[in-house]
Amino acid sequence: MNAPARKKSTATRNARIADVMSQCLKTALSPLGVARKQTMLSVLAESLVPVIEVRTKNQKNIKFWGQGGWSLYRGRSVLDKEPLTIRWIDGFAKDSLFWDIGANIGAYTIYAAAAKEIRTCCFEPSASNYAVLCKNIELNKADHLVTSFPIAFSAETKIDYLNMVATASGNTGGQFASAEGRNTNIFRQSCLGFTIDDFIASYKMPVPNHIKID
């Protein structure tokens, strides 16, 4: 079995185990009544989310909110998934301004800000990703270095939809103002899009030294 097949098999097995555990917990809480059961499940769900700590080469601990499989994976793999991106960020001057466009849950935003102390502006239009991104900024006490915006960048400034096949945090592939090539059911999230020039001019934003676009 090749590596992608093994990963898929492991993910499927983990999902089945989690489903069985979830059903057992729901059954155990059934005597509490509907309202109290829902309250307990809600509190437990939040309290059980793991916080991943990653040790960087410069001996900094950076943290990620592991809400769901994709968020967990992106936090754990920040140093290994795109080593060239890490090496690129390592080369930034301390007074640089970094823009992370399509930041997802903020893996590289957090690395740049919390590990390298680089001023960072990050942009992520997906509501679920943006929520985890902000949680990661909070966990790393990086709000003095990171400015985050829940917007998309586009060829024109307008209000439109972010078209997404998957909405769980950590997922990718959303398209602003277009659903081209999407043959499956999509969720349309209302979204504000800017051209980069309009965004800088409208809000007098400083021009970045480095831009990552996903």
Task: Map out the domains of the chain as residue ranges.
Answer: 1-42, 49-213
Q: What does the DSSP assignment read for the chain? A: --HHHHHHHHHHHHHHHHHHHHHHHHHHHGGG-HHHHHHHHHHHHHHT--EEEEE-TTS-EEEEE--SHHHHHHHHTTTTS-HHHHHHHHT--TT-EEEEET-TTTHHHHIIIIIT--EEEEE---HHHHHHHHHHHHHTT-TTTEEEE--EE-SS-EEEEEEES--STT----EET--TT--S--EEEEEEEE-HHHHHHHHTPPPPSEEEE-
Q: What is the CATH number that goes with domain 49-213?
A: 3.40.50
Grade residue 45 by pLDDT with cuts at 50, 70 and 90: confident
Residue 179's pLDDT is 82
Which has more pLDDT, 29 or 109? Answer: 109
Q: Is the pLDDT of residue 90 over 90?
A: yes
Residue 127's pLDDT is 98
pTM of the predicted model as reported, rounded to 2 decimal places: 0.89
Average pLDDT over every residue of 83-105:
98
Residue 129's pLDDT is 98
Grade residue 5 by pLDDT with cuts at 50, 70 and 90: low
